[in-house]
Amino acid sequence: MLEKNLINFIQNLFVKYKHIWTWWPWESRVEIIISAVLTQLSKRQQVSRVLENLKKIRKSSEEIGKKIFYYDCNINLDWNIEKQIAKYCLNYLKEEDLKWVGFYKRKYQTIIELLKWFIGLDLDLPTLELRKQLLNIKGIWKETADAILCYWLDKPSFVIDLYTYKVLYKNIFRQYYKDFKFFKKDYSYDKIQNLIENILKDLKKDDIFWYKNLHWAFVEEGKKLNSK
């Protein structure tokens, strides 16, 4: 009964949010890797301020060149250009560029390690191996690792966040658990992720398009809960 209810709920989410396919605003994928770290324990407005500042730095640099100046990964993704941007950020990004977000000194070190990792990355590695490597970087949590895999590398790794938990609890699990904290205790991050990914496979919706779509649907539903 539980799994059937969850399948029906996810199918309804796809219908409700069928026109949404991606939602992370970027001009380069490198911006995603930076924002994925910055959003930890920070407000989106603070992160946006940092990203806008980084865009100004990148676009005012003569060293980047016209090809990268006009580059937009949403139009024509080029991993060679992405690695050039990563190298530029690695050389010129400073701690004070992140000063608007919480724990910015610690996050700066994590971003530097991530950029180094990406520059030497083999994009053909299996998703599980890439996830393992990401989680070995200090400061990378499971949610952050999966966000990078899903939105940056287009790998099928479903992102579980607090919105996911809240939406599932309200619509599915509240009849089984009287308290939200007991639900979270019984259903770990990995357990929820495996549950959802298996359902996506059963529904024949296990490519990256549907991973992004469903995560966004959970976020939209979660925002509605917070506004009530």
Give residue-wise pLDDT tens across range 169-183.
999 999 999 999 999
Structure tokens at 45: 């407005």
User: pLDDT digit string (tens) for 45-57?
Assistant: 777 777 777 776 6
Predicted confidence at residue 59, as pLDDT, reads 64
Question: What are the pLDDT digits (tens) for 120-167?
Answer: 999 999 999 999 999 999 999 999 999 999 988 999 999 999 999 999
Q: Is the dihedral of CA 145, 151, 153, 154 positive or negative?
A: positive
pLDDT, residue 66, reads: 62
pLDDT attached to residue 67: 65
* Predicted pLDDT at 58: 63
What's residue 228's pLDDT? 57
Determine the 3-state secondary structure of 53 from DSSP. Answer: helix
Q: Which amino acid is at 18?
A: K
Indicate whether 65 pLDDT > 80. no
Split at pLDDT 50, 70, 90, the class of 101 is confident
pLDDT at site 32: 83
DSSP assignment, residue 100? T
Nearest Cα residue to 212 out of 200, 224, 195: 200
Instruction: Please report, for residues 38, 60, 94, 125, the alpha-carbon distance to residue 42 in angstroms, rounded to integers and kept in the order given.
Output: 7, 27, 19, 31
Neighbouring CB atoms inside 10 A of 110's CB total 20
Name the least confident of 19-28, 83-92, 168-177, 207-216: 19-28
Give me the amino acid identity at 19.
H
CATH of domain 29-152: 1.10.340.30
In the chain, what percentage of residues exceed pLDDT 90? 53
